[in-house]
A and B are shown apart, each in its own frame.
Chain A
Amino acid sequence: MSDLIAGETLALIHDAGVLANERVSDGVYRLILYAPDIVRAARPGQFVHLKLSHSTDPLLRRPFGIYGADLAAGTLEILYQVVGRGTKLLAGDRLGPVLSVLGPLGRGFTVPAPAAPVAVVAGGLGIAPLCFLLDELGAAGQDGVLFQGARTSDLILAGERVARTGFDRKTATDDGSAGFHGSVVELAAGELRRGRFSYVYAAGPALMLKALCKVMREAGVEGEVSLEQRMGCGVGACMCCSAAVHGYPRKYARVCADGPVFPAGEVVWE
């Protein structure tokens, strides 16, 4: 019955105090929650499922990748962009002092990496879970390069966090306002094809991940990607957050419980 059951066993449901919820860039906020039990269990690439109001509207929780987990302080950090009703509410004045947090959920990145040096490829807000990964890779003594792309320079986020990890960073913007003028996949492709890296981690928009997986396949380099999907329960029961991935009993895997991190070569891009 193994594949019918959600994998990890440490998830909890908690009311977590909101310690900070501050704007860090245009439409981007950093939320800090006091959730020591969740912090203790959290691994890079996992997510938390937040209920944003006590009302029935909006009804569903929203998944957020874990940006940082500070064991000493017991704090959990989320980096988010205002894109819809839920995140608008989260960034608004009417957010309560306490949020219901379900997590940590899902299967995260493999740490330490099976091989180094690593390429960490971030698109937009994909940097959030990858920062937590960089913390842990750094602690494991592994090195590599962060390739970070965004629409524009204001959205090349988390500069200080990245600097603290000691990873080199190369940036790309769609509008050329910072770093390489073009996509982060184009930026990373050359070095990937030359065999500079032994393993790849990535998070970002689906189209970016799809392009990256193509480059990785051509370059013969393995790695892991974090997928996003509209989500229901977060615990592997409702079967709403499906993604086509090889290696499961049926066509679709559950992003919430089987992922959100999957082997790059197993994802079926449609």
Chain B
Amino acid sequence: MKPDLAVEIAGIRMQNPVTTASGTFGYGFEYAKYVDLSRLGALTVKTITFDPRDGNPPPRIAETPSGMLNAVGLENPGVDRFITDVLPGLEELGIPVVVSIAGNTVEEYAALAERLDPAGGISAVEVNISCPNVKAGGIAFGTVPEMAAEVVKAVKAGFSRPVIAKLTPNVTDIRSIALAVAGAGADAISLINTLLGMSIDWRSRKPLLANVFGGLSGPAVKPVALRCVWQVFEAVSLPIIGMGGISSGADALEFILAGARAIAVGTANIVNPTAVTGVLDELEALLVQQGVRNVNELVGAAHR
């Protein structure tokens, strides 16, 4: 019997729990010839900033054991071109669209929220709080509970639909950040963003990435991500979108059991352009094999 895959995240109805991790799936169009985008539970697009950004100089990518580092530097066309050029095409997909946003000041996050609020076709914003706060000496917003809360409050004030806070794992205690964003009014939490890392080319004796540091993702980070989902599930009652190294239906199921109501496929898209629907098909097959009627029954089930 076909299991019921529909889930709800902060009032957003998803036909299944599978979305894309921001930054790994472009704006969706790039994958349209490989994947039937209308099958996704939701589409989460690459992070938008207020002004266009060139991003970091190359090289921006380095392979690591079962993972990769990236230092793209949030290259994007800026919010206005996103609204005029990209958003109309996304609306036609008929699935929820989540727009990831980032800024270097609280004011920039607030301005993004206000600019996106009247635009149609956006189900939620995901607040990428892994960016450096230029007014606090470059400390990432997401690493200090008060700063994370301040950003979420500013976005909530300007945006009338659900706000998802995306947490960074590069913290001492992720539960304290989760509690802070929950207290600031976040409607859901997504996690994890990439782990800060680096790679050195021993031949040239130089860092491999032009930016020196980059974000680690892929199968290598899955155990860390799973642990973070587990901890946040126990700390707050908000719905969780889990991600970090998911490349199979079994991986997705692990995150759901740890407490994720929805999951995102990230780096696997970069390896295989059909990965996201592959994970969806495998997840459905696993639920059938396990005799699970409704995927919601398994959310957080490993805690019980």
Chain A residues with CB under 8 Å of chain B are: 1, 4-6, 9, 11, 13, 51, 56-61, 85, 100, 102, 229-233, 235-244, 249-252, 257, 270
A60 adjacent to B63 (CB under 8 Å): yes
- A195–B221 Cα gap in the complex (Å)? 56
> A59 and B67: CB pair below 8 A?
yes
Tell me, yes or no, whether B1 is within 8 Å of chain A by CB: no
Q: How far is the CA of A251 from the CA of B75 in the complex (A)?
A: 10
Complex alpha-carbon distance, A1 and B24, angstroms:
19
For B183, the chain A residues whose CB sits under 8 A away are none
| Nearest CB on A from B267, distance (A) | 8
Do residues A229 and B219 form an inter-chain contact, with CB atoms below 8 A? no
* A4-B86, A242-B55, A242-B60 known; A236+B30 contact, CB < 8 A: yes
Whether A237 touches B24, Cβ cut-off 8 Å, given contacts A230-B62, A231-B61, A249-B52, is: yes
Instruction: Apart from A5-B30, A232-B270, A242-B60, list 18 A-B contacts with CB within 8 A.
Output: A4-B29, A13-B273, A13-B274, A51-B272, A58-B63, A102-B273, A232-B68, A233-B24, A233-B273, A235-B273, A237-B31, A237-B270, A238-B24, A239-B26, A239-B72, A240-B61, A241-B60, A251-B55
Contacts of B64 in A (CB 8 A): 59
Please give the distance in Å from A15's CB to the nearest CB on chain B: 12
Smallest Cβ distance from B24 to chain A, in angstroms? 6
Q: A13-B273, A241-B58, A252-B54 are in contact. Are A235 and B34 (CB under 8 A)?
A: yes
A60 to B269 Cα, complex, angstroms = 10
Known pairs A60-B68, A230-B61; A236 contacts B33 (CB<8 A) = no
Select from chain B the residue with minimum beta-carbon distance to A84: B63
Distance in angstroms between the alpha carbons of A251 and B54 in the assembled complex: 6
Least CB distance, A31 to chain B, in whole angstroms: 20
The dominant DSSP class at the A interface is loop
Of A11, A229, A231, A249, the residue contacting B33 (CB under 8 A) is A11
B77 at the interface (CB under 8 A from A): yes
Expressed in whole angstroms, the Cα–Cα distance for A236 and B26 within the complex equals 8
CB distance from B272 to the nearest CB of A (A): 7
CB neighbours (8 Å) of A257 from chain B are 30
A-chain residues with CB within 8 Å of residue B72 when the two chains form the complex: 238-240
Distance to closest chain B CB from A244 (angstroms): 8
Nearest-Cβ distance from residue B182 to partner chain A, whole angstroms = 31
Known: A239-B60, A241-B58, A249-B52. A59 touches B34 (CB 8 A): no
**Subset of 18 A-B contacts with CB under 8 Å:** A1-B86, A4-B85, A13-B34, A51-B272, A59-B64, A59-B67, A231-B61, A235-B273, A237-B25, A238-B24, A239-B26, A240-B61, A240-B70, A241-B60, A242-B60, A244-B57, A251-B55, A257-B30
- Given A60-B63, A242-B75, do A252 and B58 touch, yes or no (CB 8 Å)? yes
Q: Is A9 in contact with B33, judged by CB distance below 8 angstroms?
A: yes
Interface residues of B in 27-76 (CB under 8 A from A): 27, 29-31, 33-34, 46, 52-55, 57-68, 70, 72, 75
A29 to chain B, nearest CB (A): 21
Which residues of B are interface residues toward A (Cβ below 8 A)?
23-27, 29-31, 33-34, 46, 52-55, 57-68, 70, 72, 75, 77, 81, 85-86, 89, 218-220, 247, 267, 269-274
B85 touches A238 (CB 8 A): no
Chain B residues with CB under 8 Å of A102's CB are 273
- Whether B271 lies near A241 (C-beta < 8 A) is no
**B66 contacts A59, CB within 8 Å?**
yes
Residues of A within 8 A of B55 (CB): 239, 242, 250-252
The chain B residue sitting closest to A238, CB to CB, is B270
Residues from chain A with a CB closer than 8 A to the CB of B218 are 56, 59
Q: What residues of A have a CB within 8 angstroms of the CB of B274 in the complex?
A: 13
Q: How far is the CA of A167 from the CA of B269 in the complex (A)?
A: 42
Contact indicator A56/B66 (Cβ below 8 Å): yes
Q: Which chain A residue has the least Cβ–Cβ distance from B82?
A: A4
Task: State the CA gap A218–B166 with chains docked (Å).
Answer: 52
- CB neighbours (8 Å) of B65 from chain A are 57
Q: 4 closest pairs, A vs B, by CB?
A: A237-B26, A240-B61, A237-B30, A251-B54
* Nearest neighbor of A235 in chain B, beta-carbon distance: B30
A11 to B4, CA, bound (A): 34
- Rounded to whole angstroms, the CA-CA distance of A239 and B60 in the bound complex is 8
How far, in whole Å, are A159 and B59 apart by their CA atoms in the complex?
33
Residues of B with C-beta under 8 A to A239: 26, 46, 55, 60, 72, 75
- Contacting residue for A13 out of B86, B220, B272, CB 8 A: B272
Closest residue of chain A to B222, judged by CB? A56
CB distance from B93 to the nearest CB of A (A): 14
In angstroms, Cα B63 to Cα A61, docked, is 10
* Nearest B residue to A102, CB-CB: B273
Partner of A232, one of B31, B70, B85, B220: B70
Known contacts being A233-B273, A236-B30, A250-B75, is A57 close to B66, with CB within 8 Å?
Answer: yes
- Give chain B nearest CB distance to A183 CB in angstroms: 21
- Once A9-B33, A13-B34, A235-B34 are accepted as A-B contacts, the answer to whether A4 and B77 lie under 8 Å apart by CB is yes
| Contact residues in B for A235 (Cβ distance below 8 Å) | 30-31, 34, 273
A21 to chain B, nearest CB (A): 22
Q: Are A4 and B58 in contact (CB under 8 A)?
A: no
